[in-house]
């Protein structure tokens, strides 16, 4: 990936999203889906976000676009020369800022209204966030369809008339219609055929270059994340445990969980694949309803020390643009 500017579009600090989950004997119990995340997204970069199912990736993405109102923390959006914490804004004050941060959803079958034509779907953000008249919106829709590799003749069709890959292109056209500064891509290729995934990845990369977009790319596919991302953040049980440039993270992961995660990803070279060490984690991930004290990974960590059960490490710089939340790194002083 090419280098990107260091100015941030989004700055996330101590972000948490807890869901009420009353239980017998504990009417105030909560599920800590996101539990103190610090992140920043730079102008023109793709930040990959990976982790096991249930670790809070999609919940974090929905908080960033304010589909959820976070329990605590800040989400500072830098756009139009202003910096605004959108985490606690009410709907009235949030609405004009929504144009700056959009979302591409995982399921292209469920994320498009089946009663609306493609033209109506793509034109909706233009109607809400611009002063274009009907004719101007129609021209913009035709241009957006061309941008994502679809024909203007598709504008009057309904979503059920398209394949999964085409529907995701429609979702992408809708997301870029308001010319946002940032887009949250919530597993945008996981519901697609393998043959289509590379096309969508390449389309996102092309659009990023053309429109100077910043992308948060959430995915399970570690190979896809490596291909498209400038930096990668690793989540475990609602927290970010490591952030680094993509090439460095894949070559030299520091956190024990990141090493285990990378060891599970297949390598296309059979000789390397046969010789690689697998790191098998014991047990299952703890429940976000009752997370362990200290480091959330310590019950499964093959390198855990006694202090890991009592000390909850914050992200700490261990190299240029490389941060890790691990007691071992602090002890080593690296």
Could you give the C-alpha distances from 78 to 50, 184, 307, in angstroms and in order?
Answer: 24, 15, 38
Instruction: Quote the distance between the C-alpha of residue 118 and its chain's center.
Output: 25
Q: What is the pLDDT of residues 22-61, one digit of tens each?
A: 888 888 899 999 999 999 999 999 999 999 989 999 999 9
Tokens of 183: 């887009």
**16 has which bridge partners?**
35, 72
| Residue 302, both tokens | 């093959």
What pLDDT, on the 0 to 100 scale, is given for residue 331? 42
Looking at residue 273, what is its pLDDT?
Answer: 53
Mean pLDDT by 10 residues, the chain (334 residues): 70 97 87 96 96 94 97 95 94 94 93 96 95 95 96 94 95 96 95 91 94 94 92 96 95 93 72 64 86 92 90 89 86 44
* Domains of the chain by start residue, with CATH: 8-332 (3.40.50.300)
pLDDT at 199: 94
Rounded to whole angstroms, the Cα distance separating 210 from 226 reads 21
Q: What is the pLDDT of residue 270?
A: 63
Torsion of the alpha carbons at 39, 43, 44 and 49, rounded to the nearest 10: 10
Handedness of CA 248, 62, 17, 43 (dihedral sign): positive
Tell me which H or E stretch contains 246: helix 246-251
Buried b (16+ CB within 10 A) or exposed e, 25-55: eeeeebbbbbbbbbbbbbbbbbbbbbbbeeb
Cα Rg for the chain, rounded, in angstroms?
Answer: 21
Is-above-0.85 flag for pTM?
yes
Percent of the chain with pLDDT over 90: 74
Mean pLDDT of the chain: 91
**DSSP result, 277-327:** PP-PPPS-PPPTTSPPSSSTTTTT-TT--GGGGT--PPPEEEETTEEE--H
Residues 121/150, Cβ–Cβ less than 8 Å: no
- In this prediction, residue 333 carries a pLDDT of 47
The pLDDT of residue 80: 86
Note whether 309 and 292 are within 8 A (CB). Answer: yes
Question: DSSP secondary structure string, 10-70?
Answer: EEEEEEEEEEE--BTTBTT-EEEEEEEEEEEEETT-EEEEE--TTSSHHHHHHHHTTSS--
Q: In this structure, are strands 239-245 and 322-324 parallel, antiparallel, or unpaired? A: antiparallel
């Amino acid at each position: 990936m090419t280098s990107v500017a260091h100015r941030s579009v989004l700055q996330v600090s101590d972000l948490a999203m807890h869901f009420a989950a009353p239980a017998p004997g504990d009417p105030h119990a909560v599920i800590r889906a996101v539990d103190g995340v610090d992140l920043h997204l730079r102008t023109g970069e793709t930040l990959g976000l990976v982790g096991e199912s249930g670790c809070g990736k999609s919940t974090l993405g929905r908080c960033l676009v304010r589909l959820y109102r976070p329990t605590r923390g800040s989400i500072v959006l830098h756009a139009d020369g202003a910096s605004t914490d959108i985490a606690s804004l009410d709907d009235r004050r949030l609405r004009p800022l929504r144009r700056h941060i959009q979302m591409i959803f995982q399921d292209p079958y469920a994320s498009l209204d089946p009663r609306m034509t493609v033209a109506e779907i793509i034109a909706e953000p233009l109607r809400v966030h611009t002063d274009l008249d009907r004719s101007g919106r129609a021209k913009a829709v035709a241009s957006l369809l061309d941008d994502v590799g679809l024909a203007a003749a598709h504008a009057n069709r309904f979503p059920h008339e398209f394949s999964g890959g085409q529907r995701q292109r429609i979702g992408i056209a809708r997301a870029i219609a308001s010319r946002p500064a940032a887009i949250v891509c919530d597993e945008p290729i996981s519901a697609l055929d393998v043959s289509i995934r590379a096309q969508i990845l390449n389309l996102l990369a092309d659009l990023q270059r053309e429109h100077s977009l910043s992308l948060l790319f959430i995915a399970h596919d570690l190979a896809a994340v490596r291909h498209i991302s400038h930096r990668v953040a690793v989540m475990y049980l609602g927290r970010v445990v490591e952030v680094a440039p993509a090439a460095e993270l894949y070559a030299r992961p520091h956190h024990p969980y990141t090493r285990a995660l990378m060891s599970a990803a297949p390598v296309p070279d059979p000789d390397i694949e046969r010789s690689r060490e697998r790191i098998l984690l014991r047990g299952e991930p703890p429940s976000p309803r009752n997370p362990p004290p200290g480091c959330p990974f310590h019950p499964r960590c093959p390198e855990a020390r006694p202090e890991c059960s009592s000390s909850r490490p914050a992200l700490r710089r261990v190299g240029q643009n490389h941060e890790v939340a691990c007691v071992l790194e602090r002890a080593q002083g690296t």
